[in-house]
Amino acid sequence: MTDIGKKKATIYDLSMLSGASPSTVSAVLNGSWRKRRIKEATAQLIQNLANEHGYTANLQARGLRSSRSGLVGLLLPVHDNRYFSSMAQSFEAQVRSRGQCPLVVSACRDPEEERKVVETLISYSIDELFIAGATDPDGVHTVCEKAGLKHVNIDLPGMLAPSIISDNYEGARMLTQAIIERAQEDGPLSPDDLYLFGGRNDHASHERIRGFRDVKRASLGADPDVCIQPTGYSPAMTARAFEAFYEGHGKLPRAFFVNSSINLEGLMRFLALHPHETFADIIVGCYDYDPFGSFLPFPVFMIRQDSEAMITKGFAILDADRGPPITHLVRPTLVPPRTALTGPLDALKDIE
């Protein structure tokens, strides 16, 4: 609290002030002083001085020496999407409750970028890494392996490290079932009336498409390939797919499954160009939850993936050390239309 504007105090400063040696000061301040048989009185003295001077350890120095940094990384595809930002929020909370510092970075679904970003994180000697939604989890794995960095995959599985992912197949089945049932309330549904938009060549998309097709075939008796429209994870591409369908048919499909909220943004772009009365009767399923998406002017069933549980599980696996590269499934939940779930936001202090 003194020394405003001055350099930060170090253990050497406190060593001078207290008359103790730097190593004693260090031991006192990092808690290992009992083990080192430091007198209680000495510890007290040093701790008081530390408080008085607002001492905080230089974590770079500590990290350098101990080759641990207290940093835990989370690699995301993108930030600005409710699924990932909510994951970031849970991640932060859990990392901090473990006394470490979260480091959330995104890599734009670019395999090259993913590796580069992880290299950077490794250069900061991060202790653990959560790899969420990586395009190339195994490429990232190699980089981590080389550096001896403990890591898990979240959301998209890899072959080489433990993975925790949504049960995409089950989730897709639930979602498809829900869409179908709801659509059938308005009259019989033909296989051509039910489409899927979005997704690409990744594990999650495959599983979701598989779930969709299985349920569709079972319920509607057929499942033409044309009803699967993989557009990648891009709003623009998705919008184009809707536009193309619309041009061909003069309407949208009666019901459809959208692979993620990012693709759902593509639907918004399409809708912006057309009067919404035209589409008042569509039924939509979206594999992701977004509180506003749930209240669009047509029924939107959503899937809420339990990112909090995934993170928790991830830590459990890392703590258990050396887990086998097994894939763990976390069950998502179906969210009916017009549902406002609570989330991490509710933990905010808000005393007016």
Partner DNA sequence: CTTTTTTGCACAATCGATGGTGCAATGACT
Partner DNA sequence: AGTCATTGCACCATCGATTGTGCAAAAAAG
- Nearest-approach distance from CB 32 to DNA, in angstroms: 5
Comparing CB distances to DNA, the nearer of 121 and 161 is 121
| 153 scored as a contact of DNA (CB under 7 A) | no
- Nearest-approach distance from CB 121 to DNA, in angstroms: 15
User: What is the rounded CA–CA span in Å between residue 46 and residue 149?
Assistant: 35
Number of H helices, E strands in the chain: 12, 12
Comparing CB distances to DNA, the nearer of 36 and 79 is 36
Strand 228-229 relative to strand 255-258: parallel, antiparallel, unpaired? Answer: unpaired
Q: What angle do CA 265, 216, 175 make, to 5 degrees?
A: 45
Comparing CB distances to a copy of itself, the nearer of 58 and 327 is 58
11 interface partner picked from a copy of itself, DNA, none, CB below 5 to 8 A per type: DNA
Strand 333-335 relative to strand 300-304: parallel, antiparallel, unpaired? Answer: antiparallel
Residue 304 Cα to chain centre, angstroms: 12
- Nearest-approach distance from CB 49 to DNA, in angstroms: 13
Q: What angle do CA 315, 204, 172 make, to 5 degrees?
A: 105
**Region class of 187: left (phi > 0), else alpha (psi between -120 and 50), else beta:** left
- Nearest-approach distance from CB 303 to a copy of itself, in angstroms: 15
Q: Considering only residues 13 through 72, tell me which ones interact with DNA, judged by CB under 7 A.
A: 19-24, 26-27, 29-30, 32, 36-39, 41-42, 55, 57-58, 61-62, 64-67
- Nearest-approach distance from CB 286 to a copy of itself, in angstroms: 10
Give the phi and the psi of residue 36 in degrees, each rounded to 5.
-95, 10
Comparing CB distances to DNA, the nearer of 67 and 120 is 67
Comparing CB distances to a copy of itself, the nearer of 232 and 285 is 232
21 interface partner picked from a copy of itself, DNA, none, CB below 5 to 8 A per type: DNA
Nearest CA among 107, 55, 54 for reference residue 78: 107
User: What is the rounded CA–CA span in Å between residue 273 and residue 74?
Assistant: 37
294 interface partner picked from a copy of itself, DNA, none, CB below 5 to 8 A per type: a copy of itself
Nearest CA among 71, 63, 72, 119 for reference residue 315: 72
Comparing CB distances to DNA, the nearer of 32 and 327 is 32
48 interface partner picked from a copy of itself, DNA, none, CB below 5 to 8 A per type: none
Residues in contact with DNA by CB under 7 A are 7-8, 10-12, 19-24, 26-27, 29-30, 32, 36-39, 41-42, 55, 57-58, 61-62, 64-67
